[in-house]
Structures are given as structure tokens and as C-alpha cells.
Structure 1
Amino acid sequence: MFDNHDGPSVRGFAAVLALLSLTAFAVTASMLYHVHHEQEIFAKLTQHLPKSDLEAARELSGELSLQGGLLVLLGLNTIGTAIAFAWVVRGYLTSERTLEDVKVYSADVLASMDAGVITTDRNGRMTSINPSGKQLVSCDEDHLGRTLESLGKLHSLLVEIREDVATYHHPIRDRDYNLDNQGHRQTLRAGCTLLRNRRGEEIGTVLHVRDVSERALMEERLRRMERYMGLGSLAAGLQHEIKNPLSALSLHIQLLCERLETTTQDAEVDELLDVLHTEIRRINDVLDGFRNYASTNQVGRTSVDVAILIERLVRLLRPQAEQQSVKLDVQLPAEMVGLIEGDSVGLEQVLLNLALNGMAAMTDGGKLTFRLSRQDEFVRIDVRDDGIGIPEEIRSQIFDPYFTTRNNGTGMGLALCDKIVRQHDGSIDFRVIENSNPDSDHSVLGTEFTVLLPLSQSA
């Protein structure tokens, strides 16, 4: 970015001027010597001239003196020029050192930034990248001189915004895209502006990339919390306005069934009444799930060993897993990871919902893996399936209440999981495992949900 292509040419020009000045000074000194020598010879000759030739000799002597004076003036002019040139060269060298200091300072500033800065020429070839940029886009010095496409499909957004800026000459800010960083979702926020030189000429583009994973995660949790907080009053209203009439309706249907049993045995009427009962129960279940989700009651907290919860859950799931040809794989650490303070019933519900979702995604069988580990001051629980994954367009909605892709689903399972985990001061996230083999028929290898729960203070 900071290469100075004018430096060698300026230094070469200065060297040529210095050589010319020295040559001029040497020629002037040589001419002065010869003129002085000629004057000495002429003085000796005039001593032997007749008086009639003295006048012409004096004129010739005057011309020689004039030439000597001009040569002296030329020498002084040459010396003055050399001194002025020396001052100019000194000023240039000082400016060059100052420019070098500015370059070093600018390079230090770029190296200290936590944001990546990438410059490209007008053809999209990378001309420079700071250390943070190399880390964020996973490249090195060998990528300089290549186009942005060499960074791979994961960073295709950078190619798109550079082309848009180069075409429409309008800056682009805050475009987010996600990466899979060692099993965790990493969110990068990119922008692009035109790069101009000091004459205002367009010479390329500047791309800036920041890691906003924590901010994106906080924003997503905040959106979930806002939706959750607004449901409390709505749940109370639904309980009053819907569930009470439903209870009365259910009671009257029961009384009607009892009366009809004594008066008629119509199979069609019995079927219609059974449908009414089923639908009323379903509405009640939906309302109960909504009430549980919107409830603001604090969970009871006791010491919980997550390993025991997982083992208990696996015993519960084994019969259903065998029916679906699903293998249950439990990976527990050799040593105890520690206890957490929480509600064992609520946490069992979280693990059960994740397991049932995983098994539902493996219609042709597969492996459901439970992995328990310790991550810093948290207990980490990974639940992975070999299913069809989650489509990109709905990934931002899977924790929303009543969002489901199954015909028989209520859409409250993952929403309740998210709520229960947040009540335990933890976090829940997921990643879709992409297939790195381009020759495979399956682009997705499954989905993995990760739950982090804080360890007990005494752990």
C-alpha cells in the first residue's frame, strides 16, 4: 500500500544533477588554470615586445583578464548552484525520512486495528491486507496480486460488494455474512469504499471486515427477549378470554355425550363429538404451552449432574430409537465436568426436545450423538444428528414460538428450550454441518445443537 515508485527516479535525477555540477566545477577550475597560465606566459612575452606592439598587447591582456573574471564568476555560480542543490537534496532526504515515518506509523495503525482492511486495484486484485484481515479471511501474503475470488466461496460477499462499488461508485456499509469457525457460527460485517489517490483519481477499492459475532449473538438474543417479554400479557389475556370459554364448552360437550348415550347410538354423531373433544384438548395444550413459554416465574435451582440427565434420557429414548433405526451415541468425559445450579425437570425437557427433533430429522435412520464437555466456566452439551439439516432461509426463525416445518408440530419445542436455557443464564445455538466432499450426493451431514450452562460457583 505504501510503495513509493517515485523514490528511485528522484534519486537518480539528483545523482545526475550532482554529477553535472561536479563536472561543471571541474571544467571551470581547469579553464581558470589555463587562463592564469596563459596570462603568465603573455606577461613574459610582453617584456620583449617593441613599444609599437604594447598597445595591442594591453588589449589582449585585458581580454584575458576579462575571461578570467568570467571564469571566476562562472565558478562562483557553479558553487552557488551546488550549494542550493545540496539544500534541495537535504530537504528531499528529510521529506523522504518523514514520509517513511508516516508509512511506518500508518502501517502500525493498520496492524493494531481489530478490523481487517483490504485494498484492491481496479481489476479486483488484492494489493494489501493488514494482519487482522489475514486472520479474518484466512489468507497470507501469497494472496496479494490475486483476485478476491481466491478467498473462496465463503467470502463471496466481498466480491459482490466490491463489484457494486466499482460499478455504481457508492459506498457500501454493514453487510453481514456467516462462517463456520470450528463448530461455531462466526458473523463478519463487511463494507467497501472507493480508493482514490491524491489527485482524486480512482485507483481501486478499500474493503473493511469486522468480527461482530458477539454483537450479532446479543442482538439475536435481545430480539428473542423482546418477543418473549411481549407474550406475558398476551398469555394472561388468552387464558381469560379463550380457556375459560373452552372449559365451559368442554363441559357441555361431555354432558351432551352422556345424554346421547342414553337416547341414540349414532356412530356419525359419536365421531363428530370425538372430533370436538380432540380439538378442544389440542387448543388447551396449545394454550398451556403458550402459558408456560410466556411465564415469568423463576425456576427452582438445585445441584444437577448433567451426565446423569443424559444417561436417564438415553434409557428413555432407546426403544423409540431402535424402532427408527437410530443409533444413540453417548460421549461422556472420564472425569466429572462439574455440577450446575438449575431445574432438572426443565433441563430434561430441553434435552428431550433436542433429541426428538434430531430423531425426526433422520427418517431413514442414522446416529444421534450426545457429547458432554467443559468449556471454560460452562458445561457444554452437544446434540448432533445425521439428518437433512435446516434450510438457510429458516435458520433465523427456528427459535420463534409456533414456527414449525412439521405437520404435527406445535412449534413451541425449540422456543421453550431457548427460554429454559436463558432462565439458567446459559445459551443455545446450532450449526448445520456442511459436507466438504464435492462429489457426495449430500451437501449436509446433519445438525448440531450446543447448550452452554454456567457451572455452579462451588464447582
Structure 2
Amino acid sequence: MIDPPGARGVRRIAIGLALLSLLSLAVTAWILATVSREQEILKQIIKHLPTSDLKIANELSGDLSLQSSLLALLVLNVMATAVAFVFVVRAYLSSEKSLADVKVLSSDILASMDSGVITTDENGVITSINTRGRSLLGWDPNGSNGESDNAVGSVGAPKPGIGGNIAEINRDHGMLAQICEESRLRAEPIRDRDYRVQRDGLVQTFRAGCTRLHNRGGQQIGQVIHVRDVTQKALMEERLRRMERYMGLGSLAAGLQHEIKNPLSALSLHIQLLCERLAKETGDAEVNESLDILNTEVKRIGSVLDGFRSYASINDIGRSPVDVNLLIEKLVRLLRPQAEGQKVQIRVQPSREMLGMIQADSVRLEQVFLNLAINAIASMPDGGVLCFVISGDDRGIQVDVVDTGKGIPAEIQPKIFDPYFTTRPDGTGMGLALCDKIIRQHNGNLDFQTSPQGTTFTVVLPVNEEV
């Protein structure tokens, strides 16, 4: 590991002080040796001095002995100080190394997280952002902000890099600045705020939160923003919500069948008898028209009730060997006259690999693909291309129903699988709801992707036991 600059500086200082200590020790040893020699010389001189000068000579000898003791004490002090300094320097360098290891570990942890982590100061200026955060926000540190052409953002907006303000991120991620401001005003953390971003024609769901950033003294110094890509989780939650919409509706459907269907049948019978009687007694065209309207509306109510019963029914589906390729070919022959009338070309892209049969209800599967195809043709009133793309492997078969229409508006995308939701004046709103239910009865999935260039409905069916 490369030592940090602070540790290298301390190491240089320690080496310098160690050399200075050795030099001081050498000088002290030299002085001590000199004093020792002087004491020897003084002893020799004292032997030849007269008695009157012995007192001064003895005082001088005592001073030299005191200096010798002080020098010895100084040597011990220098050595002890040097040893203590060595231990202090070693402890400091060890602390520096531990701190560097902790910093590297924290950096590795942040870089390995699947969530984006962004920190800002009190003014909303970004102070750090991990690798995943750069990826989620579409920031390329090499100079390109990584935005796709289809991304909605302000032209020339600053990159979400260090030193930029969180409020200056492009509009797609404007939710981050909003939750930061809300967290600052409310002085409490914000959790699990979802927002959607359209990138490369696909809609991604992000979940963001914001908490306050404090230092060791407990003082607030900024905010921490965390962002996760929860697109797959959001899809699973949406599938669960779809399942909840018809769970328990079987008993309700049976009750409606009893309470509405039987009186409705009686009403239809009496309207028909009334039509026959009035047709003989009077030729009033207005009365006949009113009776025809009554009869038509009664039949429409009956069909709506039958659709609801089919949607709410929890009866098991029948299973038999089904060749998806032959099913699609049959469907194309059925749809071709209608498609040609609306200037829509139908194409089939079969799988490159040999696909086996699956255990499924062929009638209901045909109903699903027919409904998806009719919706696709209706989305291209000025003509276009309808394509069936078939693929698969040992685990399952996938059929993509692709159109070149204008796509599904964002405001109605969450509702398209809801019962009785339709944008067509002649629709009942049960088509896609029934398709979704039928595919789930086959333990499969029905999802879609949409953009202004068209919509793709994807049907995934698992391969069951061999037939």
C-alpha cells in the first residue's frame, strides 16, 4: 500500500530527529570522554601541587565530577527520549495506516454498493458520489453525461459531478433536489420516493431517499442521498397488484350471475315478446326503434356480465400439447384481411432454434394473441407493421407482439390491465385484463414496453413436462 503524504512527512521528520538524537548522543559522549581525560590530568596535577592549592584543586575536581554526572544523566535522558519518540512515531504511523485502510475499505464498500450514494454540503453542492451513483444518474467522468437522446433533460445542464449543485441535475432526476429540500425543511429523513426515467426508450423506476449528514460532534454538515434502481421490483409489485384485483372475485361473480343474469334473461324474453306483439298491432317506427335499443342494451349488459364472470373465474384451464409456431401462423391467416384493410403489414420472425410443444390451453392462448394483435392494429390507423417475434430455450417460450404505433401515453400505462379500463369507444375494457389473467393461469408473464416509436407486448410461457 502506498503511504499517504502525511505519513511520509512524519517519517522524514522522525528520521531527521533520530539522526539529530544520534548526533547529540555522539557529541555528549565526546564531551564526557573529554571531561574524563581532564579529570585524569587533574589527578596527576594534584599529586604535585603544594598543600595550599589542594583546596582549589579539589573544588575543580568536584566540578568536573558533577559535570561528568550531569553528562551521564543527559545521555540517559537523550536515549530515553529517543526510545519514547520511536514508540510515538510507530504509534502515529500505525494510526495513519489504520486510517488509510479504513478510508480504502469505506471507498471499496461505497464502490461495491448496488445503490447510488451522494453526499452534499449545506448548500446542496455535491461533495461525493460513488460509482453506482454516477451510473444511475448517467454521469460519465470522462466528459460525457451519458444521457441518451431520448432522455428528457435541460440542454447544457451541468453533469451531476463533485462540485455541482444537486438542483442542477437534469429534469429526469429532479426528485432528488425536491427530497433534499423537503428533508432540510422538515428536519427529518425522507424514504422511498419513487420516480420514473425514460432512457433508451425504456422506462426505469428509481427509489430515492435523503438523510441528514452529521460529523462526529453531532453537527449537521450536509445531506446523504441514496438512489436505487427498482424497475424489476416495481414490475413485480405491479403483477402482485394485478393478481389482487381478481382474487376473491369468484364468489362475487357467482352472486352477480344469480342476481343479475336471471332477471336479465327474463327481461330480454319479455322485450322480445313485446316486440312481436307490437309488430302485429302497430307499425310505429319510433316504438320499434326504442324496443331495438332496449334489446341491444340488455344484450350488452349480458356480455359485460359474462366478461366479468370470465375474469373473476378461478376455474383451472385445460391443458394439451400446443405448438406456438402453428398457433401464430393460424392467427396471422385470420388477421391478414383486417390488417390489409388498414394498410398494416404482418410479419413473423420465428425462433432460430427448434421449439418444442408446451402444455397449454390453445383456445385461451389464441384469445390472448388475437386480442394483443387487434389492439396493435388499432394503434396504427395510418398503417404500419405488426411483427410476431418468437424465441425460446429449454426453460420457456417468448412471443413479442410488436407494433409501430405511437405508443401508450404515460398517464394510462399503469391502468391498461385494469378491468373495464379502455380508451376505445367500442371497447369493454376487459381484453387486456383477461389476457393477463390467462397468461398467469399458465404460470407465465405478460409485460409491455412502449415508446413514441411503438409498443411491444411480451408473453413468456414456461415449458412444462415433455409431451
Shift of 1:383: 0.8
- Residue in 2 aligned with 1:77? 77
- Does the CA contact (< 8 Å) of 1:165 and 1:193 recur in 2? yes
Q: Are residue 225 (structure 1) and residue 243 (structure 2) matched? A: yes
Once the two structures are superposed, the pairs formed by residues 303-322 of structure 1 within 5 Å of their partners are 303-322=321-340
CA distance in 1, matches of 2:6, 2:256: 77
- Does the CA contact (< 8 Å) of 1:180 and 1:186 recur in 2? yes
CA distance in 2, matches of 1:140, 1:305: 47
- Does the CA contact (< 8 Å) of 2:253 and 2:308 recur in 1? yes
Greater shift in the superposed pair: 42-51 or 247-256: 42-51
Shift of 1:394: 2.3
Q: Equivalent residue of 1:405, what SS?
A: coil
- Residue in 1 aligned with 2:295? 277
**CA 1:382–1:146: 2 relative to 1, 3 Å:** farther
Once the two structures are superposed, the pairs formed by residues 428-439 of structure 1 within 5 Å of their partners are 428-433=446-451
- Residue in 2 aligned with 1:54? 54
Matching residue within 380, 384, 393 for 2:411: 393
Shift of 1:20: 4.6
Shift of 1:345: 1.0
**CA 1:344–1:171: 2 relative to 1, 3 Å:** same
**Cα distance per residue 1:61-99 (max 9 Å; x no partner):** 322222222121111111111111222233334444555
- Residue in 1 aligned with 2:456? 448
Matching residue within 238, 254, 261 for 2:256: 238
Q: Equivalent residue of 1:120, what SS?
A: strand
Greater shift in the superposed pair: 415-424 or 8-17: 8-17
Greater shift in the superposed pair: 150-159 or 90-99: 150-159
The aligned amino acid for 1:410 is: T
**CA 1:217–1:335: 2 relative to 1, 3 Å:** same
The aligned amino acid for 1:314 is: V
The aligned amino acid for 2:455 is: T
**CA 1:404–1:375: 2 relative to 1, 3 Å:** farther
CA distance in 1, matches of 2:22, 2:336: 97
- Residue in 1 aligned with 2:147? none
- Does the CA contact (< 8 Å) of 1:301 and 1:343 recur in 2? yes
| Alignment gaps of 5+ in structure 2 | 143-159
Once the two structures are superposed, the pairs formed by residues 288-307 of structure 1 within 5 Å of their partners are 288-307=306-325
- Does the CA contact (< 8 Å) of 2:116 and 2:136 recur in 1? no
- Residue in 2 aligned with 1:118? 117
- Does the CA contact (< 8 Å) of 1:139 and 1:151 recur in 2? no
Q: Are residue 129 (structure 1) and residue 137 (structure 2) matched? A: no
Q: How many residues get paired? A: 445
- Residue in 2 aligned with 1:196? 214
- Residue in 1 aligned with 2:363? 345
Once the two structures are superposed, the pairs formed by residues 167-206 of structure 1 within 5 Å of their partners are 169-178=187-196, 187-206=205-224
- Does the CA contact (< 8 Å) of 1:338 and 1:379 recur in 2? no
- Does the CA contact (< 8 Å) of 2:118 and 2:225 recur in 1? yes
TM value normalised by structure 1: 0.84
- Does the CA contact (< 8 Å) of 1:124 and 1:162 recur in 2? no
- Residue in 2 aligned with 1:28? 28
- Residue in 1 aligned with 2:465? 457
CA-atom RMSD in angstroms: 3.3
The aligned amino acid for 2:247 is: M
Greater shift in the superposed pair: 54-63 or 337-346: 54-63
- Does the CA contact (< 8 Å) of 1:398 and 1:404 recur in 2? yes
Once the two structures are superposed, the pairs formed by residues 92-111 of structure 1 within 5 Å of their partners are 92-99=92-99, 102=102
- Residue in 2 aligned with 1:372? 390
| Alignment gaps of 5+ in structure 1 | 434-443
- Does the CA contact (< 8 Å) of 1:171 and 1:191 recur in 2? yes
The aligned amino acid for 1:57 is: A
**Cα distance per residue 1:329-384 (max 9 Å; x no partner):** 21112443221111111111111111111122222222111110015511001011
Report the identity percentage: 58
- Residue in 1 aligned with 2:156? none
Shift of 1:170: 2.8
The aligned amino acid for 1:391 is: P
- Residue in 2 aligned with 1:436? none
Once the two structures are superposed, the pairs formed by residues 401-420 of structure 1 within 5 Å of their partners are 401-420=419-438
Q: Equivalent residue of 1:448, what SS?
A: strand
**CA 1:428–1:182: 2 relative to 1, 3 Å:** farther
Greater shift in the superposed pair: 146-155 or 15-24: 146-155
Q: Are residue 262 (structure 1) and residue 280 (structure 2) matched? A: yes
Shift of 1:171: 2.3
- Does the CA contact (< 8 Å) of 1:193 and 1:205 recur in 2? yes
- Does the CA contact (< 8 Å) of 1:119 and 1:204 recur in 2? no
**CA 1:224–1:370: 2 relative to 1, 3 Å:** same
The aligned amino acid for 1:129 is: N
TM value normalised by structure 2: 0.83
CA distance in 1, matches of 2:109, 2:19: 40
The aligned amino acid for 2:344 is: V
**CA 1:351–1:283: 2 relative to 1, 3 Å:** same
- Does the CA contact (< 8 Å) of 1:303 and 1:342 recur in 2? yes
**Cα distance per residue 1:33-61 (max 9 Å; x no partner):** 44334444544555565544332233233
Q: Equivalent residue of 1:284, what SS?
A: helix
- Does the CA contact (< 8 Å) of 1:326 and 1:365 recur in 2? yes
Q: Equivalent residue of 2:73, what SS?
A: helix
**CA 1:378–1:180: 2 relative to 1, 3 Å:** farther
CA distance in 1, matches of 2:349, 2:65: 108
